[in-house]
Amino acid sequence: MVCLDCDAHYEWGTCRERDVFSYQLTDQGSGFAEYGRSFLGLFQKPLRFEELPNELILALNDAAKKFNEDNTPFTLVNVFYKNERAITSEHGGRLFAGARDQFIANLRAALGHNELVVRGPSSYDFALLPGIDPQQATRGFPNLSQRAAGPLSLDLGATLKAFGPEDF
């Protein structure tokens, strides 16, 4: 058993029953129970390449090679939808999936053709921005997020987080 409040690990049966049965999960705990690690976001733990789409891994390898050769920066953007759970329970998974697909399409259009935008597993997506350092990318996130989410009727709660070469 794992306590999502304090991250303590317990063997089953080592906690008193009244503790287990009287415990109320936080929103984060119930979200984790319902959606798994995707609710917490991919980058709550170290980046693992096996969880990334193959297309993105190849592009990241190319970007890392350029960085090592001539110090060309790049930014990997992680997109997480914090309102997925609420939208899915109120409107259904199909409506969330459609809004997410439209957000990705709008993000591609806002970034242009040189950047790779891929749908990730579960509740997160990625964009690779070659030639842009993470600090520069982060400064543009509010405008980028507005351009991608603006036409949508639902607030996906998209949060963008930047990772640079030093994070790999």
pLDDT band at 36 (very low <50, low <70, confident <90, very high): low
Q: Is the pTM of this model over 0.85?
A: no
Express each pLDDT in 40-78 by its tens digit.
Answer: 554 444 556 677 888 999 999 999 999 999 999 999 999
Give the dihedral sign, CA 33/167/131/62.
Answer: negative
Residue 21 has pLDDT above 70, yes or no: no
Mean pLDDT of the chain: 81
- Delineate the domains of the chain, giving CATH numbers in brackets: 1-35 (no CATH), 46-167 (3.30.70.270)
pLDDT of residue 167: 82
- d(CA 31, CA 10) in angstroms, rounded, equals 20
- d(CA 108, CA 137) in angstroms, rounded, equals 15
Express each pLDDT in 94-117 by its tens digit.
Answer: 999 999 999 999 999 999 877 899
> Residue 140 burial (CB < 10 Å; 0-12/13-18/19+)?
middle
Q: Per mean pLDDT, which range of 19-23, 94-98, 135-139 is the poorest? A: 19-23
- d(CA 102, CA 85) in angstroms, rounded, equals 18
